Amino acid sequence: MAENAYLHQISRHRIAPPSVTGDVSAADLIDQAMLSYNGGRLRELCQVFTRKMLEPDCTVGLTISGALTPAGLGMSCLIPLIKAGFVDWIVSTGANLYHDTHYALDLPLHQSLPGLDDFRLREHDIIRIYDIVFDYKTLLDTDAFYRELLASDAFSRSMSTAEFHFEVGKYLHARSSALGGTPGNSFLAAAYEAGVPIYTSSPGDSSIGMNAAERSLAGGALQLDTLRDVNETAAIVYDAKRSGGTSGVLILGGGSPKNFILQTEPQIQEVLGLEESGHDYFLQITDARADTGGLSGATPHEAMTWGKVDPERLPDAVVCYTDSTIALPLITAHALARCQPRPLKRLYDRRNELYETLRASYEDRVSSGLPTGIAARQKQKSQGTDEPSRDPSHPDTIDRAR
């Protein structure tokens, strides 16, 4: 049979996987058996993550939305990723951080079943998150912990949410150690230990924010500086790129954390007027559709039009439509099997330095008189990048596709 040249051009490889055996590793299962549909997209995502984003010069940002920590994914996945140096900074919903605190305080959550009688649960003071159940007292005890902690001097000032979560993680780490336990139950404590800054894009939208609001009514001086967050996160990305490295984002779900991590690039380009072209790597796990117009389902191609993703790096963007509770354990296992730990970047320790670098670059741009939002796109046009590559990502055939 004559060879079809175009078929060969678009083929990655012939589908002929080996038989799955009982002793196959998770990483080999992903690489060898997850070839098509969303299994194939998860494979691509894992391979871009391990082969490109985990290079030493890439700064990796992670977003966390959806109820992941109640399902134990903080302990099983996020902490190992942080300890291995595979995550450099985080944007999370406040709810995930609040529920992470249950584990730090040794307040149990239980696996159950969906479809329980919610009226009976209410009668017995039991809280439900789909198939997870726990005592209402878990909420009350966690609230009491935060109110007591926020009354301390460490929280009597204005601070970014990264500083806030650093102080919480510091306390949880010390508390666990003092009680003879290990801080391994809390990813807030692990992030503190590794110097990984954690930001919350909507700090008032969680039980932590609700308890901070109670402290405000009681006369507390804590103020969460969300404008500082905007510039600190932009400074992290700006430093990653101007130092000759790359910036990658791994987005679990969507929502406000997704936009907050991606808006760093429009903040740099459109608002501050600095020369930049977008994040280099965009990996997302989501169940949201693009055709509803919501941010959670917005594709990397759409994000590229905003300046959030570098047009030249779109072939390295992967969206997998599945549940984060399915994907994250597989991503974690694949990364730990395929990559050696990276040195910790400890970006929390460098926040002020990066912030001042961004400020200095912004002030230089203002003094130059160059209008905002011009520099980056003028450079792209002069280099002929108005028509970026539309080839799909070929992470498993890098030599041929590149």
**Residues 386-395: contacts with CB within 8 Å, 24+ apart?**
388/304, 388/311, 388/312, 388/314, 389/312, 389/314, 389/315, 390/314, 391/315, 392/315, 393/44, 393/48, 393/315, 393/316, 393/317, 393/318, 394/12, 394/315, 395/44, 395/47, 395/48, 395/51, 395/52, 395/316
Strand pairing of 132-135 and 126-129?
antiparallel
Helix (H), strand (E) at residue 246: strand 246-252
DSSP helix/strand/coil, 44: helix
Reply yes or no on whether 258 is catalytic. no
d(CA 233, CA 235): 5
Secondary structure letter of residue 111 according to DSSP: E
For the chain, the straight-line distance linking the first and the last C-alpha, in angstroms and rounded, comes to 29
Do you know the residue count of the chain?
A: 402
Q: Are 96 and 86 in contact (CB under 8 A)?
A: no
CB atoms within 10 A of CB 5: 7
Q: Which amino acid is located at 384 in the chain?
A: G
The residue assigned the tokens 């977003």 is 63
Q: Which amino acid is located at 103 in the chain?
A: Y
DSSP helix/strand/coil, 201: coil
Nearest to 93 by CA among 198, 168, 230: 198
Ordered DSSP codes for 163-199: HHHHHHHHHHHHHHHHTT--GGG-HHHHHHHHT--EE
Q: Which amino acid is located at 371 in the chain?
A: P
CA 49, 296, 325 angle in degrees (round to 5)?
55
Q: Which of 52, 83, 308, 345 is catalytic?
A: 308
So which residues are the catalytic ones? 308
